[in-house]
Structures are given as structure tokens and as C-alpha cells.
Structure 1
Amino acid sequence: MPRVWEVPVHDSTRVRDVRVAAGAAARQVGLAEDRVAGAELVATELATNLLKHAGGGQILLDLVGPPVPAYGDERISMVQIMAVDHGPGMRDSDAALRDGYSTTASLGAGLGTCLRTADDFGLHSTPGRGTIVMARVGPGPRRDTAAPHSGPLPVRAGGVNVPLAAAEFSGDAWACVRTSDRVTLMLADGLGHGPLAARASSAAVEAVRTAPHLPPADLLRRLHGALRDTRGAAVAVAHLDVTAGRLHFAGVGNVGARLRRGDSWHGLVSHPGIVGAHFPAHLPARQETWTDDCLLVLHSDGLPSRWSPGPAVHAPTSLDPAVIAASIVRDASSAARPVRDDTAVVVLSPCPPDRSS
């Protein structure tokens, strides 16, 4: 079961905790020592920035796959470092990435260093609402593959996972797997909390990787068998056929799903039940048209069902989907209203038109 790390950063003593957690995460996925050092450097810079510019915030570390689905890349291989705050925000985030730019009489090289060190980097800031900075550190340049249909797809996936009360394990887990020109996105919410819930959701991830080609309803039936010796989970599955422009969806339990097309949102409804324990006799699947302006959000019930989309969801092609996911969690909570459960949000969004990989 992969760990998740949540480190509140409200004084300088927590910067070391963030650095240690980043090093542990990087070693857990087997990164070379130079990349371990890179993860530690990025985490330290982001934690320091939280204190310096936002008066504190939180660092979330997770073990994820690359955001653009590709053959053989769905296995965990990267450390995702997310800095989230409710601070004053930035009026010019582009300037903040340039070396030498500073609002605190410092050298102004922190974010630029993170951008150069990370394999993937994303930033979104809204004055008066706060800032989210994301960096993923992996083994370095992606390997090429000669597999058929191995070219880039015009979609990418990303998410954020926040354990309840800074626990070692989250009961939520998600996976994104590619087969040919199709992408399967799954989010599982293991019943309860802690290691036993994490075991259930992790079993769902492994089962999805064995048969991602199956339609959502059939895949959920397979997961039902795979989770029988666990406490069970609520699971939602979305299957996108990129060539046909069709999104197929089915869910069991209280995992939420919303699809945005243009300026309108509508929910995708799951069926009552528990995968691995109480599977519905009839499981309807839903089909939707997928266009270049679509955005799909899956979330566990740690996120309030009436969450409101914030500014980040209105720029899906320019923002990494993990940044969008973090903004949804951040805007639905606060220091006075923390998350009430393990909370995972995963987003499937279009790639920028000029993205080649």
C-alpha cells in the first residue's frame, strides 16, 4: 500500500519534516540519489515559501504515475509534492517563476529552482484565495516506447489525496491506465479509514491494471471479486474512448462524479452498494460525449457533495489536472473547516493544444 504524507507547515521546524518526508517518498519509489536530492530540494523550497509568503499552509506528498497516460507508465514512479495555502495569493505568478523576482528581499530563485528540477510543474494563484504549487519528481526523461498507439493522447489525469488527520495511509486510491486510444480512470474509497481501508482501495488499483480494457460495469464486477477478502470500497470507473469521443461511466457507492462540458456541469450518478460486499444486481452505465472543452472530476465523500468549482476549473488546458484537483479540495475546506474524511479528487482534462508529450 503506498503511503501519503500530509505535513502542516506553520513554523520553521516543519521544513525539516517536509524534507525528510520527500526523501522517504523518493526512496520508496526507487529514485536515484540525485533525484532523491532533487525531491528534497523542491520540498524544502515549497515549504519555505509557504512560511515566507503565505503565513503557512500544508505540503501533500503522494506517489503517482505520469499525468499523460502511456504504455507501461501506469505504475507508481514519481513523487508528487503539493504546496497548498489560503494566503494572499500572487498577482503575477509568471513573474514569480523568474529568477531574481522577490517580494520579501530574498534571492527570488525558489520557484525557478523547483521548475528546473521537477519533471512536471504547475502553479495556480488567485489573489485573496491562495496559491497551489505542484511539482513531480521522477527518474528523469521519460523513456520512449515502440508499442503500437504509444503516441501522446490529448488528455491527462492527475489527482490529490489527503489522509484524515494526517494519517500514514489514506483509504482512497486512484489509477489511470491506457490501452490503445482509450483511458480508464478509477477512484476507490475503501470503507472506513487507515490501513484496512487502504488495503481495499489498493486492491482495486491492482485489479484495474489487470483489465483496463473492460467496460466500466464489467470492470466493476471484476473488482467485486478482487475485493471480496477486503472490507470493500465505493468505486467509480470512467472509460474514455478518445477516437470516438465517448465517455462511459459506472459507479457503485458514494464516489462523486461531475462532468463539465463548456460552461455547464452535470453529475454522473453511481448505484448504491459496496464493491466486494454488496454488489447491485443491475448496474446501469452512462455514456457521454467527450469534447475538447470537457473536464471530468471524480471524488471521494471526504469532499462535500455541494462543492463549488473555483477559478482553476475554468482553465483546464493550461493547468495540470493535479493542480485543479488540489484547488477543489482547498476551496472546499479551510483551517476552521478541515476535511472530514480521507479525501481524494482526481481530474481528467484536455492537454494544451501545443503539448507534444
Structure 2
Amino acid sequence: MDNTFSSCKIDDRSLIAFIKREIHNLALQIGFTPHRAAETDIIVAELTSNLIKFPGRGELLYRSHQTDGKNEIEIYCLDNGAGIDNVFKIMSDGYSTSNTLGQGLGAIKRLSNDFQIYSMKGWGTVQYVKIRDHADYQIPPPGPGLNFSALSVNYPGERVCGDGYFIKHSPKGFQILVGDGLGHGSNANEAVQLAIKAFQQSKATEITVILRGIHEAVKKSRGLVATIAAVDYTTETWNICGIGNINTRIYNGLDNKTYTPYNGILGHNIPRTLNSTTVPYQKHQIIIMHSDGLRTRWNLNDLVSIIKQKPSLIASSLLKDNIRGTDDATVLVGKIN
């Protein structure tokens, strides 16, 4: 298991059986019972058949993962179709727009442990599904502090991702690292994994010191760009510092600001002087960090009520609209509760 999502473009009905088999086998590998794997099949079949039936094409992102010692499968379903007028209405079992039984989204919600959907007319739809090994497990509501979701996808054709992220928590706060190894493939992956290891092992609290430690740790690798955003609960501040082109933006309601990193490459050349930017830490903020696998000219205010949605829907909406397809891509979205 890792943080990377596999991707499958669904543009033909023949692919439905293939992706069902892939995710079914994945479910069995991580310990799902045959019955729970069969319920997962139903979810995947509904998601993919709806892609063919309505927009005609779309994309499924999926991975196995472990949270709090529980095995789970996460699935994102993205499309650029006509969108849905009334999401609440079509969530009801028995509602149909195509003379079928009308059990699609209702079945997905009933069989999954978490189901979220966001749609806008003329824009398309994003859906998020979390399937635990026990159907009756209740996902607890997010507690105070950081509630986040992240999506990492490989450059097309690569088996590993050159992007990565890690979050460290302590009683005094938390630190977020997002990194992007130069290029893509195994060498980029090696660089970002070395950076994550150095980040995990660092005892420093000053993020500029941590970045210098990462710089030393990755000198024998291809190198990477990275940003650290850290929160101190005592001072109620963010401290943000980055080297290279990781995009970092914080929303306070409809207002937002982008924090510019230093020029350079960790492992090769970094500025002699590094200073972090201090920002007030407040409830209801949204922090977004992403690699250059996504375009930077986006604005959440263009998507109706998206800031009210959970991080998973914000992250997948940004990925859907802005992925370049020419590199690995990572987007991390955190909301402060």
C-alpha cells in the first residue's frame, strides 16, 4: 500500500468488467471477505456504468489504504459531463432518468462507508467512495484541527510516482510536506522518498532547518522541489517555506493568498538565506498544496459552494479540471475544523 492512486480511463463498456476484476482482486488481497468484495463489485459497476450511460466517458482513481488499522479501498470517479441538477433527488432509490431500476447512487451510498458527490451543471461530477472491510463501520466525524485529503497519480505509463507528501502531528501542532522529484519514474520516486524519510526523522521545529536537512539527505539523488507548511498551536500561526515550484494557497472564506517559494532544487542548489512566511492560523481555513502536475490558474470561487465540501471533493475537483497529464500530479487539501 502507498499513497498513489491507480487510474483507469473508462470510455467503453468493455472496460467495466476489467476494472471490476482489478478492484475485486485488490479487495481480496487486503483481507475483504468474498461477500464484501462482491458488494465492492456492485459499487464499481454502478460508478462505471453511469459513466458510459451519461457523460460517455470518465476516469476512475482507486487505491487500497489503511487508516487507524482498518483496511479500505478509496475510489474517485471524475467526469466532464453535463452535470446533475438535483443531487439530493437522484440519491433516492427508485429515481431513474433512463428507465432502469434507479438504484445506482442509492446503492453506492448504502454499500459504502463514505460516499460524497459534487456536481455542477455544464461542469461535470466528482464522486468519492470509501469502502472498509466491514460494511457497518461508521466513519467518525472529523475532530478539531486538520482534516485533509490528498490525491497522487503517476505520470501516464509509470509504475511509481515521483511526487509525495507526509504529515507529522505532535501535541504542539503539525507539519505538512509536499515534494516533487525532478522528472518522473523511479529516480524521481527515490528522491521524494529520501526527502520524506529525512522529514520524518527530523527533530527540528523550524521548517527552514528541516528543509536544509532534506537538502543534505537527497544530495546523491536526482533532487526535488518541496514545501513545508507547519502549524504551531501555541502561537496560532502557520509557517510556510518552500524551494521550487510547489503551489501553496490558503483560503480564508472567499479570500485567498498564494505563498511564493524560493528558486532552487533540494539536493543541488538552495538559497543561502531561507525565511519562512508567518500566517495566522484560524478555523475554517483551507490550505491547498500541489505539484506542477496541475495548472496553477484556478480559483475555488469559480465552483459553486465547493468551499463547503469535504477536502476529498475539493481535491478531486481541482485534479479533474487542472491536471496536465505530462508529469506526476499531487494535490493535498486541508480544512481546519
- Normalised to the residue count of structure 1, the TM-score between the two structures is 0.82
In the TM superposition, 1:47-62 aligns within 5 A as 47-62=48-63
Q: Tell me, which stretches of 5 or more residues in structure 1 are unaligned?
A: 67-72, 145-150, 352-357
Query: For 2:183, which of 166, 183, 192 is the aligned residue?
Result: 192
Structure-2 residue corresponding to 1:332: 322
Counterpart position of 2:17: 16
Secondary structure of 1:43's counterpart equals helix
Distance 1:280 1:41 in 2: 53
Deviations 1:105-135 (A, max 9, x none): 2222222222233333221100100000011
Partner Cα distance (1:21, 1:294) in 2: 37
Q: Which residue of 1 aligns with 2:284?
A: 293
Report the 3-state secondary structure (helix = DSSP H, G, I; strand = E; otherwise coil) of the residue aligned with 2:85: coil
CA contact (8 A) 1:313 1:324 kept: no
Aligned with 2:313: secondary structure? helix
2:101 is aligned with 1:107:
yes
Give, in whole Å, the separation in 2 of the partners of 1:76 and 1:285.
37
User: What residue identity is the alignment partner of 1:237?
Assistant: I
Deviation, 1:267, is: 0.9
Q: Aligned-residue CA RMSD in angstroms?
A: 2.9
Give the length in aligned residue pairs.
332
- Please show how residues 345-356 of structure 1 align to structure 2 within 5 Å: 345-351=331-337
Percent identity at matched positions? Answer: 26
Give SS of 1:122's match: strand
- Looking at structure 2, the residues matched to 16 and 219 of structure 1 have their Cα atoms a distance apart, in angstroms, of 47
CA shift digits 1:316-355 (9 cap, x unpaired): 3x4221210111122235xxxx53322211111134xxxx
Q: Is the 8 A contact 2:58 2:77 kept in 1?
A: yes
Residue 234 of structure 1: CA displacement? 1.0
Alignment of 1:138-287 (within 5 A): 138-140=132-134, 141=137, 152-180=143-171, 182-211=173-202, 214-242=205-233, 244-287=235-278
Find the counterpart in structure 2 of residue 69 from structure 1: none
Query: What residue number does 1:7 align with?
Result: 8
Deviation at 1:175, TM superposition (A): 2.3
Q: Deviations over 1:157-178 (max 9, x none)?
A: 1122232225332221222332
Q: How far apart in 1 are the matches of 2:77 and 2:84?
A: 14
Distance 2:218 2:70 in 1: 21
AA partner of residue 265 (structure 1): N
The one-letter amino acid of 2:59's match is Q
Output one character per residue of 1:46-70: Cα deviation in whole Å (capped at 9) or x when no partner. 112211222111111245565xxxx
Q: State the SS of the aligned residue for 2:314.
A: helix
Equivalent of 1:319 in 291, 296, 309: 309
1:131 aligns to 2:125 (yes or no): yes
Instruction: Check the 8 A contact 1:310/1:328 in 2, yes or no.
Output: no
Secondary structure of the corresponding residue to residue 106 of structure 2: helix
Determine the structure 2 residue equivalent to 1:33: 33
Residues 312 and 324 of structure 1 are in contact (CA less than 8 Å); yes or no, is this contact kept in structure 2? no
Q: What do the CA deviations read for 1:145-196 (whole angstroms, capped 9, x no partner)?
A: xxxxxx9324311122232225332221222332225232221111111222
Question: Structure 1 residue 311: deviation in Å?
Answer: 4.6
Provide the residue aligned with 2:112 in structure 1: 118
Q: Tell me how far 1:208 sits from its aligned partner.
A: 3.4
Q: C-alpha distance in 1, partners of 2:65/2:41?
A: 17
Aligned counterparts of 1:124 and 1:59: Cα–Cα separation in 2: 15
Q: Which moved more, 1:210-219 or 1:261-270?
A: 210-219
Q: Given the two structures, how large is their TM-score scaled by the length of structure 2? A: 0.86
CA contact (8 A) 2:223 2:266 kept: yes
For residues 272 and 40 of structure 1, do their structure 2 counterparts lie closer, same or farther at Cα, with a shift above 3 Å needed? farther
Q: Which amino acid aligns with 1:85?
A: D
Unaligned segments of structure 2, at least 5 residues: none
Structure 2 distance, partners of 1:347, 1:212, is 25
- Please tell me the residue identity of whatever aligns with 1:320: K
